[in-house]
Amino acid sequence: MGKASSNSSIRESIIIPHDFRLEDDLASAYDLMQHSGETVFLTGRAGTGKSTLLNYFRKTTTKKHVVLAPTGLAALQVGGSTIHSFFGFPLRPMVKNDPDIRIWSRSHPRYRILKKMETLIIDEVSMVRADLMDAIDQALRLNTGNDIPFGGKQLILVGDIFQLAPVVNAKDYAVLEEDIYETPYFFSADVFRNSKPRIIELKKIYRQQDENFIYLLNRIRMGIATQDDLNDINQRYNPDSKFSKDFAITLSSVNAIADTENLRELMNLKTPLYTYKAEIEGTFHERLYPAPAVLKLKRGAQVMMVKNDLQGRWVNGSIGKIEDLAGERIMVRFADGNIYPVEPALWENKTYTWDKIENTINFVVHGTFTQFPIKLAWAITIHKSQGLTFDNIIIDMGKGAFAHGQLYVALSRCKTLEGITLKTKITPRDIIVDEAVEYFAGRSGIR
């Protein structure tokens, strides 16, 4: 089956910024998460510390908890499992009272986890569909024998409804409409209304400091930006800019732009090409690869770190340049001038299990992926930049924004307005905000 991994080792690998302080609205939110059994929707604008607070809770709580995410890569980042794999849900829209909801036998480890689990955390909840939220509720009720919302378990839902939205195709819509969901979002699930979650909105922004930039970002986020607001942002328009700022990264609307940019810049370097192949053991599906399976680098290449360093020398999203390539170590120079050796990192594909001896929830590792925690980073997609922070970015919207919250996510990755360069001017058409999100936010007092 694989090797066991303890919860204590998971806690030790969780990185908390050295300057983190549990104060103000962070302290109030933590108190509710830790000292109550209430269902909580933890939200807030980009850069308000949602992920940091979640990690702090996971590292310090005594509650038996499980962390899930809607996608494989998101689950890998938080050290948890996907919703579908944990509950054994089929990869299709779920109907109310779905016959494929699994009822685990009392001897099965998953039954023990569901019975003993006190808190279920769902990260990136904005990407969770309404039918999936109701299926989680049904699974918990059936397996705990407790016919109240979520089987009486505390749920902590983390995310910003103005950012990533659920992926819903035409067939999905047909099922959702048949079940009379007002919207595909998690907040339209029956259980969300019935459980009456406490909505905690973090207000203090840590990523940006300039009040004018924060004001502009929020007007983009809420879909209320005026032409004057756009004029302020469009002062950053410079179509001829090509990495005029060192360590600048392009955020593109589609994969094709990012892939083309990275390949072209790599080929333009006249230094020798080195190839590094990942070591994969056990079961580790290709869609979960956190770094390139075949990593091609040259001295001078711009790269991004894709995993936090346990020594705190860099974080996931740090931009650097390849200083030297030799043997089993890669030397990377970061924006602060420091040069550090980077060695291969290990990621685990794991599932939750019940440890009878320790009376706690642990993991079983099914496969590992070992590779340098690096990928080329002259450009990445806006979607993959979610949750990251940069000093200098070039935004290339191509033919324009096409998804809810896409422009806001791109702009809010940068610490300052001065750090942004626009390849194309922002127009009102780029500001896409789902009316369902606007309505829910207004009704819930989310700003």
DSSP secondary structure of 60-116: H--S-EEEEESSHHHHHHHTSEEHHHHHT--SSPPPTT-TT-----TTSHHHHHHHH
Burial 245-254 (b: 16+ CB within 10 A, else e): eebbbbbbbe
Which parts of 278-386 are beta strand (E)? 279-282, 294-298, 302-305, 319-326, 329-334, 339-342, 345-355, 360-371, 374-376, 379-381
Q: Which residues contact 198 (CB under 8 A, 6 or more apart)?
A: 32, 38, 39, 40, 41
Instruction: Give me the pLDDT at residue 15, please.
Output: 79
Please answer whether residues 252 and 428 qualify as being in contact, where contact means their C-beta atoms are separated by less than 8 angstroms: no
Assign 6 a pLDDT band (cuts: 50, 70, 90): low
User: 16 burial class (0-12, 13-18, 19+ CB within 10 angstroms)?
Assistant: middle
Ranges of each domain in the chain: 3-202, 211-347+367-430
Q: How far apart are CA 80 and CA 90, in angstroms?
A: 19
C-alpha triplet 98, 363, 103: angle, nearest 5°: 20
pLDDT of residue 79: 85
Quick check: 173 pLDDT over 60? yes
Q: What is the pLDDT of residue 63?
A: 96
| pLDDT at 254 > cutoff 80 | yes
What confidence score (pLDDT) does residue 3 get?
62
With tokens 């908390």, the residue in question is: 16
In this prediction, residue 1 carries a pLDDT of 43
User: Is 84's pLDDT higher than 90?
Assistant: yes
The DSSP call for residue 369 is E
Instruction: Please say whether the beta carbons of 100 and 89 come within 8 A.
Output: yes
Q: Decide if 57 contacts 30 (C-beta within 8 A).
A: yes
Instruction: Out of 8-12, 265-269, 275-279, pick the least confident.
Output: 8-12
Residue 372: partners with Cβ closer than 8 Å, 6 or more residues away: 276, 291, 295, 330, 342, 343, 344, 345
Is CATH 3.40.190 correct for 3-202?
no
Residue type at position 28: S
The 3-state DSSP class for residue 367 equals strand
The pLDDT value given to residue 245: 61
The region of weakest confidence among 51-60, 167-176, 283-292 is 167-176
Phi, psi angle pair for 371, to nearest 5°: -160, 160
Mean pLDDT of 325-335: 89
**Is pLDDT of 158 > 80?**
yes
Provide the token pair at 75.
């689950």
Q: Which helix (H) or strand (E) holds 156?
A: strand 154-158
393-433 confidence digits (pLDDT tens): 999 998 999 999 999 999 999 999 999 999 999 999 999 99
